[in-house]
A and B are shown apart, each in its own frame.
Chain A
Amino acid sequence: MRSPMRFNRLLATLFALVLLAAACGSDDDGGDGDTTTTGGDGAAVDLTGQSVEVAAIWSGDEQERFEAVLDGFEEATGATVAYSSTGDDIAAVLGTSIAGGSPPDVAILPQPGLLSDLAGQGALVEIQDAAGALVDSNYAPVWRDLGSVDGTLYGVWFKAANKSTVWYNVGAFGDAGVEPPETWDDFLAVLQALSDAGIPPLSVAGADGWTLTDWFENVYLRTAGADSYDALVAHEIPWTDDTVVTALETLAEAFTADFLADGSSAALQTDFPTSVTNTYSDPPGAGVVYEGDFVAGVISDETTAVLGTDADFFPFPSIDGSPSSVVGGGDVAVLLADTEAGNELIKYLASAEAAEIWAGLGGFTSPNQGVDSSIYPDAITARSAEALTAAEVFRFDLSDLQPSAFGGTVGSGLFKQFQDFLGDTTSIAAVTGDMEASAAAAF
């Protein structure tokens, strides 16, 4: 009876060896593509067989529209593009993938602060060769500055946002008998009138800290002026400064229990898309919601309201006679891996064609001057794009310019401190103290 035993033993040994081989063998992804035909200036490059990974914060409707842009790239070059959404915490997701050695080829960052952090870590590839010429010819100089660190160009601004648009429910305003306000005092009066009419006045997305930072930046730019804004961005004045306190006190005039639909604790649990759908529900859950021009995308995809008739916006009201000011945001495309397909994608995103694809779908403003403004699908987007370019004072979103530990991390830093402020608008001294402590730690 030794044969079966010996056979079993042999089988077992073989099995163990196979397991060992499987465990030790590595899974190599196909290397970069083979020969490509480099076309002449403007002609599409053939990247068949190559693949590019792109990561951005967009999900839902914005993701669909961006994937349409990527489809354009796939058609033009034959490459395969894989998109993954990182959610709001892009710093954490990218940080993990970079630390793990397998970052996406291209990432689209919502904050210049994150761009400088990554450039400082050496995670970015400079794109002067790929897109430098396009950036110089198609973009205003401010966008090149925002995409560079110490003079080296790392990012091209693909999407811009006018973050000084306040959206309202036209029907609700009609019922309350009010017109879009132009000054802050008129704005407070409008909120009061909405409240009298029995319509909850203001919808604030407190669960997402970034919306609260946008509120603050618009108020601060108007109460403290552009010079103080720049000083605060560079942390030359502390967050405990009087200008900050004044701005927070002004903001507290709108964030009162009477004006916030369902109160501040409900606001702290409302995320951005919900705050918009609440405003345009029937009956309206709120009369006014503030965020940037990308609200239009949420309105057209998630609600039955029609842009222009049911939903419209007015520019953020001026405070004490401040000039027309726009706080802008944007998303910058950066290159993380020096592959040919990645470089070509960056070049594509810097072109007007890529921008026009999304612009035609709505909810998108391009800082690219090569984009034909008639491509915008409705008067509303055209108006907000014009407001962006025609503002007397234009500044980039302050929280996005901060190091991302302070200005761009979910649950801590500015995001959290503004949420604390919304929860208790009398706690200004404590909140500014926390902000200054976080800022000091980050700078």
Chain B
Amino acid sequence: MTPEAELVGSSGRHVAGKELALALLFLVPAMLLLVVWLVYPVVFTVVRSLFDAAGGSFIGLENYGEMFTNDSTLTAIKNNAVWVVVGPTLVTAVGLVFAVLTERIPFDRAFKAIVFMPMAISFLASGVIFRLVYESDPDRGVLNAMVTAVEDVFREPGRYPGGRPVDPEQLTVEGDGFISDALFSTGDTAELGLIGIRPALVDEEAQPAEVPAPPSDGLSGVVWLDFTAGGGSERGVIDAGEVGLVGVNIEAVSADGSVAGRASTDDAGRFLIDGLDPGEYRLRLTGSAFREPFGGYEWLGPTLVTPAVIGSFIWIWAGFAMVLIAAGLAAIPRETMEAARVDGANEWQVFQRVTVPLLRPVLLVVLVTLVINVLKIFDLVLIIPPGSVQDDATVLALEMWRVSFGGAQDQGLGSALGVFLFLLVLPAMAFNLRRFRAEEQ
């Protein structure tokens, strides 16, 4: 009995007759969907990329030429390269660490569930979450709130940030603080007015500013806020209602630059540096009072935006890597690791020499899947960076969308970008397919 048609499977088994008909019946719907939704769009895109923006005239490979000379595309390619190199590696590494560390701890399932949970949220929602986390204003962005809290512990912000001399010729900027240009002789009284200080920062117990009595040996003076609410005050003169600034540290600097004496202003802004040798000194207002509070880093600025978005990618996908690697880990025979330990290897050597090599197939699968994923990254890069840094954070998929559906509506160029992205993903896909085939045999 010769069958009219037969299929030969990869295992060498012949399928014919009724079995063949049944097999085709199952395959046809899937093949139909594949042709309509995969093969046709790919062919259409390749053809469309050879036409101009409106789709009317044939321009050959001009779109591809324009693609590679366009600044945005080159930035996108560069960013994609960074993503591909950094993203999958870090995610796999983090997943590996989590998988190994949670191997046999109590509540390991609960921990794994928590780490895996970001995969359950829509990636767009995760993007919105991270946009809020990366806000540069410490009052709104979680990350900067933590950073500034830590910074403030080590570097206390000044009492009067933003304060500056009312007369720039009297005091010049020196680092965070100010130093006087003029020299003061012992027995002089200095009047140092400052402005630019928020009314809320002035001490509630501040007294009206008063010029102190001239000292016998030393320098005295007053530091006050030369501004009254409502304006109209005279600059350089202590008007009624103007208060002294407490807590400003003053130093008397002698001609050779050394500090001869120190003092701090009292409630009325007065200070007295006594015990000075007769002579001339410059007065320095140290920066301790004027240091601006640390504003946090600009996570979504042009330099840090790609690492920031990659960070959110890691948060989302680490759980996926962890779960796959944990499964692979469970399949490793324990005896090998025990044998290594018996031979005197410590945990790190066991991990490095035994666990990781045995996990290689799983790690490879995870890595390649993530590489394919990362090449196509779009939603995170659309949501997290604000419009002003979109140019710096752009990736190929986002470029394709911007060019095709943004104001320019250039679908020819967009199709060319799509084809380019497709070509970039193909090697990774081919690699994966070969591994699956090899595993089958």
* Complex contacts, A266 vs chain B, CB 8 Å: 136-137, 295
Q: In the bound complex, do residue B162 and residue A198 qualify as a contact, i.e. CB atoms below 8 Å apart?
A: yes
Residue of B nearest to A278 (CB): B137
Question: Is A11 part of the contact surface with B, judged by Cβ < 8 Å?
Answer: no
In-complex Cβ contact of B295 among A99, A176, A177, A262 (8 A): A262
Question: Is A33 part of the contact surface with B, judged by Cβ < 8 Å?
Answer: no
Q: Which of B25-82 contact A (CB under 8 A)?
A: 25-26, 28-29, 32-33, 72
Q: In the bound complex, do residue B387 and residue A196 qualify as a contact, i.e. CB atoms below 8 Å apart?
A: no
Question: Is B227 part of the contact surface with A, judged by Cβ < 8 Å?
Answer: yes
* Complex contacts, A403 vs chain B, CB 8 Å: 407
Q: In the bound complex, do residue A193 and residue B25 qualify as a contact, i.e. CB atoms below 8 Å apart?
A: no
Q: In the bound complex, do residue A283 and residue B198 qualify as a contact, i.e. CB atoms below 8 Å apart?
A: yes
User: A9-44: contact bitstring with B at CB < 8 Å (1 yes, 0 no)?
Assistant: 100110010011001000000000000000000000
Interface residue tally of chain A, by bracket?
35 or more
User: A80-117: contact bitstring with B at CB < 8 Å (1 yes, 0 no)?
Assistant: 00000000110111011001000000000000001001
Residue of B nearest to A284 (CB): B198
- Interface stretch (choices B86-94, B228-236, B422-430): B228-236
CB distance from B310 to the nearest CB of A (A): 19
Q: In the bound complex, do residue A416 and residue B388 qualify as a contact, i.e. CB atoms below 8 Å apart?
A: yes
How far apart sit A92 and B407, CA to CA, in the bound complex (Å)? 7
Q: In the bound complex, do residue B33 and residue A196 qualify as a contact, i.e. CB atoms below 8 Å apart?
A: no
How far apart sit A406 and B388, CA to CA, in the bound complex (Å)? 15
Residue of A nearest to B198 (CB): A198
Question: Is A271 part of the contact surface with B, judged by Cβ < 8 Å?
Answer: yes
Residue of A nearest to B302 (CB): A423
Question: Is A174 part of the contact surface with B, judged by Cβ < 8 Å?
Answer: yes
User: B375-397: contact bitstring with A at CB < 8 Å (1 yes, 0 no)?
Assistant: 00000000000111011000000
Question: Is A322 part of the contact surface with B, judged by Cβ < 8 Å?
Answer: no
Chain B residues within 8 Å of chain A by Cβ, number = 45
Q: In the bound complex, do residue B407 and residue A196 qualify as a contact, i.e. CB atoms below 8 Å apart?
A: no
Question: Is B196 part of the contact surface with A, judged by Cβ < 8 Å?
Answer: yes
Q: In the bound complex, do residue B386 and residue A198 qualify as a contact, i.e. CB atoms below 8 Å apart?
A: no
Q: In the bound complex, do residue A16 and residue B26 qualify as a contact, i.e. CB atoms below 8 Å apart?
A: yes
Residue of A nearest to B408 (CB): A405
In-complex Cβ contact of A405 among B25, B231, B391, B406 (8 A): B406
How far apart sit A124 and B244, CA to CA, in the bound complex (Å)? 68
How far apart sit A199 and B137, CA to CA, in the bound complex (Å)? 17
Question: Is B373 part of the contact surface with A, judged by Cβ < 8 Å?
Answer: no
Question: Is B301 part of the contact surface with A, judged by Cβ < 8 Å?
Answer: yes
How far apart sit A195 and B411, CA to CA, in the bound complex (Å)? 49
Contacts A175-B229, A197-B227; is A19 near B136 (CB within 8 Å)? no
CB distance from B111 to the nearest CB of A (A): 35
* Complex contacts, B25 vs chain A, CB 8 Å: 13, 16
How far apart sit A88 and B387, CA to CA, in the bound complex (Å)? 10
CB distance from B166 to the nearest CB of A (A): 8
Question: Is A325 part of the contact surface with B, judged by Cβ < 8 Å?
Answer: no
In-complex Cβ contact of A415 among B196, B229, B387 (8 A): B387
CB distance from B399 to the nearest CB of A (A): 11
Interface centre among A199, A207, A411 (most CB of B within 10 A): A411
Residue of B nearest to A111 (CB): B407
List residues of chain B with CB under 8 Å of any chain A CB. 22, 25-26, 28-29, 32-33, 72, 135-137, 162-163, 166, 195-201, 227-232, 295, 298, 300-301, 386-388, 390-391, 401-402, 404-409, 411
| Selected A-B contacts with CB under 8 Å, 12 pairs | A89-B406, A92-B405, A208-B387, A268-B388, A269-B301, A271-B386, A283-B200, A409-B408, A411-B388, A412-B390, A416-B390, A423-B388
Q: Apart from A95-B406, A177-B230, A269-B388, what 16 extra A-B contacts exist at CB < 8 Å?
A: A91-B407, A92-B405, A175-B230, A177-B232, A265-B136, A266-B136, A269-B136, A283-B199, A404-B407, A407-B407, A409-B406, A410-B390, A412-B390, A412-B391, A412-B407, A419-B387
3 shortest interchain CB distances as A-B pairs = A177-B231, A405-B407, A411-B390
List residues of chain A with CB under 8 Å of any chain B CB. 9, 12-13, 16, 19-20, 23, 88-89, 91-93, 95-96, 99, 114, 117, 121, 174-178, 193, 195-199, 206-209, 262, 265-266, 268-269, 271, 283, 403-413, 415-416, 419, 423, 442
